[in-house]
Structure 1
């Protein structure tokens, strides 16, 4: 029987090394604890007399920011506060108005929370020595990403390419951003790509794209503490949070869960070995 093209694509196995690592930004490569979006969302709603909790603000993390606002407004407790303050239920015009107000708040908080995740520059050096390309993608729009890019560059890191959620038809958990990064990098084999993210939505994106996925548990959304707050904890408290955060990211379906991108090179080695043995994501 002659195999069709679709049959060939389905059964084809890639046994070469990892070619690309595609990382989220806030909470993954920059901004320990993914604080910048949370600060901006809480400030945005407070300006309108709505007191959101950090847990509520974190629930839609990883999505495009107007989608994030829409999801927060749909939460019963927030919708009730909004109706009490404004006298009406939240509608789509409110989403768009809030999104416009959100932009300057987000730009300011990105600058305030602009530090690379400890160990990331060493990881970048190790990966690039292996010839691995580094892509980025984000729920930020292009203007927000411009601020992130500038801050990261000042600190010594620049991604090879990046794709924002506003540059594709649908953001996470759809795979389109990750696929667009592959396209920009010129990588053919999805099996040669690793998606690294600190949110369940970002892991879903990578899984939907057919990539290897790595969840980061401590540097991002599952922990939520700034680096200073994390380092101030006792060893016992850190371990308690670590167990909870690892469990949360494991439930996302990630192939691997690590504390932060400082631990990524060892995972790349493991994935290279699995690929060489004929295993696929």
Structure 2
């Protein structure tokens, strides 16, 4: 394949996991953060607070959660100091077995995701994936996802690489390397959270943010299916600014709408445009 042909069509789509392909609303990680704080320190954080740093590696997520002004104020009032790294370690080691034990319960594909992946494969587009989950959690999630019909071509966990995870480009670029993709400009990174969009931008890729299926909207599947057009519009308006600020080139509701974006990016590549 020559360099010119690489840049004319999308070669690979690199997908996040929770809130993107599986786990509508991204509840597996967020609900477990709430439980871990309660178990380790009998300390309450809300689901909304737990969502704020979503997309980071889980140790970094806990540290960022503890640094939120409202959480930090409550922590200092309770314990007399801001959260220490040792306390982050304790929370992380409480979180991990809970997450590993329960993540397979959240492996149901988001409606339309498998059809989109089949559409991509039918056009020779490779499917990469990466996650804020560490490898031990991914090893629990992967068999359940396979049973539900999802098997990406490559999987990168947040602790697989010495350089680290999001918002750095390393997991996305590890997919490029493993999949043998000729150009990052021929890749699309799809994510429901800002750090994952920043990851794609930092890797030089096109980026697509999901406004309704994941972390930013925080809807359950039942809430999404029952929502009025006005409610969905309000959820889009809530989710869009953070994803746009992170650099998303496109915003769509769920992965079901990705084919139209791929077609548009192909037209832009044909015209010589770059991300």
TM-score range, shorter chain: over 0.9
Please say if residues 15 and 277 of structure 1, whose CA atoms lie closer than 8 Å, have aligned partners that are also in contact: no
Task: Give the corresponding residue for 2:261.
Answer: 267
Task: Give the corresponding residue for 1:132.
Answer: 125
- What is the CA distance between 1:231 and its match in structure 2? 1.8
Task: Give the corresponding residue for 2:138.
Answer: 145
Check 1:274–1:241 CA distance in 2 against 1; reply closer, same or farther (3 A cut): same
RMSD, aligned α-carbons: 1.8
Q: Aligned partners of 1:266 and 1:54: how far apart in 2? A: 33
Please say if residues 13 and 280 of structure 1, whose CA atoms lie closer than 8 Å, have aligned partners that are also in contact: no
Task: Give the corresponding residue for 2:194.
Answer: 200
SS in 2 for 1:103: helix
Structure 1 stretch 41-50 or stretch 132-141: which is displaced more? 41-50
Q: Aligned partners of 1:161 and 1:92: how far apart in 2? A: 32
- What is the CA distance between 1:225 and its match in structure 2? 1.1
Task: Write out aligned runs for 1:26-105 (5 A).
Answer: 26-47=18-39, 48-105=41-98
Does 1:15 find its partner at 2:7? yes
Task: Give the corresponding residue for 2:179.
Answer: 185
Q: Aligned partners of 2:112 and 2:58: how far apart in 1? A: 28
When the two structures are superposed, what TM-score results if normalisation uses the length of structure 1?
0.91
Does 1:215 find its partner at 2:209? yes
- What is the CA distance between 1:13 and its match in structure 2? 9.4
Please say if residues 6 and 182 of structure 2, whose CA atoms lie closer than 8 Å, have aligned partners that are also in contact: no
> Which structure: larger Rg?
1
Q: Aligned partners of 2:270 and 2:206: how far apart in 1? A: 14
The runs of 5 or more residues in structure 1 that have no matched partner are 1-8
SS in 1 for 2:156: strand
Please say if residues 246 and 258 of structure 1, whose CA atoms lie closer than 8 Å, have aligned partners that are also in contact: no
Q: Aligned partners of 2:73 and 2:272: how far apart in 1? A: 53
Please say if residues 14 and 275 of structure 1, whose CA atoms lie closer than 8 Å, have aligned partners that are also in contact: no
Q: Aligned partners of 2:271 and 2:173: how far apart in 1? A: 25
The runs of 5 or more residues in structure 2 that have no matched partner are none
Q: Aligned partners of 2:192 and 2:263: how far apart in 1? A: 20
Q: Deviations over 1:167-204 (max 9, x none)?
A: 12221110011011111111121111110000111101
Please say if residues 18 and 194 of structure 1, whose CA atoms lie closer than 8 Å, have aligned partners that are also in contact: yes
Q: Aligned partners of 1:243 and 1:98: how far apart in 2? A: 33
- What is the CA distance between 1:86 and its match in structure 2? 4.1
Q: Aligned partners of 1:32 and 1:256: how far apart in 2? A: 20
User: Which stretches of structure 1, 4 residues or longer, exceed 6 Å deviation after superposition?
Assistant: none
When the two structures are superposed, what TM-score results if normalisation uses the length of structure 2?
0.93
SS in 2 for 1:117: coil
SS in 1 for 2:190: strand
